[in-house]
Structure 1
């Protein structure tokens, strides 16, 4: 029972948005594994959504990462790590803003999807947040498989190059994520400095009201070490 209590405490220590997203992704893969649903009912398709009114695809395309396997767990751990890091650092006490970032990224990827023929968009969504985290943590030092050390802003490009070498093809999903993430980073971090504080992508007040009372004081996270061994997303 003590182990269950520790696991429960760990689960609820995960920030709200990251917790909901990770839980939904796991549940989706479990349902597919148990043959309750089929992946063909989950991917994004313009005709299915707007002609057949299968609106759930607008959400499930971001939640399915393949069947339950070690590869799935590895990807989920790696991706959710940066969701959590970003929500606990740049967006600490700003759940509405973090949820707005996810909505912006998801909407942008849905609009780009018909031009790339990419049915599942969880990978690009995650990569966009990895890109934003990396740009906002320029002093963090990371190690790639113990081979070389680099600063965090290079992380998306290291991962992209690794996938290019392994798969011998240009990873369009990573490039989409980088593009969407860079647009947000530019208008939230760079544009305000050159335009007197203007933030075109800021969450509207009506959106913030939906999250009124959600943010509660949380213990300050331990400082991230200067150098750490990062897993590689294949």
Structure 2
């Protein structure tokens, strides 16, 4: 029964969030079980481009898991737009990889999470937040509150700044800059829509016009 409940909860997580979280959990578990080491995963441009260890372009994003805002984004402003959500992952990951070459970060997963937090917070400006029961603020301030908390703990804020910068670039290009409502400069290629988005049903299709015992005689099948 417990397994069935877990399976139901797991399958209710949106596709992209489920895949990303699963990859993070499996990667972390493999490290804890000493099947692999963090030294095989971290971001290192020299090893990537000279030794062709290209997996590091992906694995450095998997050593930190915080899927709450990822799920809220996919279930919220990206509902029904899986291809756009995947493209945001690819676009933001590429920017972080480029910027990561100029900063001393070996894992970019936490910065990626801050990016997701930033995009979610800017798309939900009216949501009220509470930080440890001490501080109340609007959602757009959340990334900066988290950065301030990191600073109080004595941690480097480079991670937070990188996530905020990439999140702002995406938000600006997609939500702020375009002149036409709903239009954005960050557009996913058609192949992603073909892979991830369900084709819209043809409103003019009438199954009663088909003949031949259900076979598509005389024309292409819907969506074909």
Judge conservation of contact 1:95–1:214 (CA < 8 Å) in 2. no
**Distance (whole Å) between structure 1 residues aligned to residue 82 and residue 26 of structure 2:** 23
Report deviation, 1:89.
Answer: 0.2
Report deviation, 1:207.
Answer: 2.6
Aligned partner of 2:150 among 160, 163, 166: 163
1:64-213 to 2 correspondences below 5 Å: 64-65=63-64, 76=65, 79-167=66-154, 169-192=155-178, 194=179, 199-213=184-198
Determine whether 1:26 maps to 2:25.
yes
* Runs of 5+ unmatched residues, structure 1: 66-75, 216-234
* CA RMSD, 1 decimal: 1.7
Q: Residue in 2 aligned with 1:61?
A: 60
**Distance (whole Å) between structure 1 residues aligned to residue 181 and residue 119 of structure 2:** 22
Q: Residue in 1 aligned with 2:204?
A: none
Q: Deviations over 1:185-227 (max 9, x none)?
A: 01111111x3676522111223322224399xxxxxxxxxxxx
Q: Residue in 2 aligned with 1:15?
A: 14
* Runs of 5+ unmatched residues, structure 2: 201-224
* Structure number with bigger Rg: 2
Q: Deviations over 1:73-100 (max 9, x none)?
A: xxx3xx2000000000000011100010
- What SS does the corresponding residue of 1:116 show, helix, strand or coil? coil
4+ aligned runs moved over 3 Å, structure 1 = 194-198, 212-215
Q: Deviations over 1:36-68 (max 9, x none)?
A: 111101011111111111111111000013xxx
Judge conservation of contact 2:82–2:197 (CA < 8 Å) in 1. no
Judge conservation of contact 1:191–1:198 (CA < 8 Å) in 2. no
After superposition, the Cα gap between the structure-2 partners of 1:198 and 1:139, relative to the gap in structure 1 and judged at 3 Å, is: closer
Structure of greater relative contact order (alpha carbons < 8 Å, 6+ residues apart): 1
Greater helix content: 1
- What SS does the corresponding residue of 2:9 show, helix, strand or coil? helix
After superposition, the Cα gap between the structure-2 partners of 1:214 and 1:58, relative to the gap in structure 1 and judged at 3 Å, is: farther
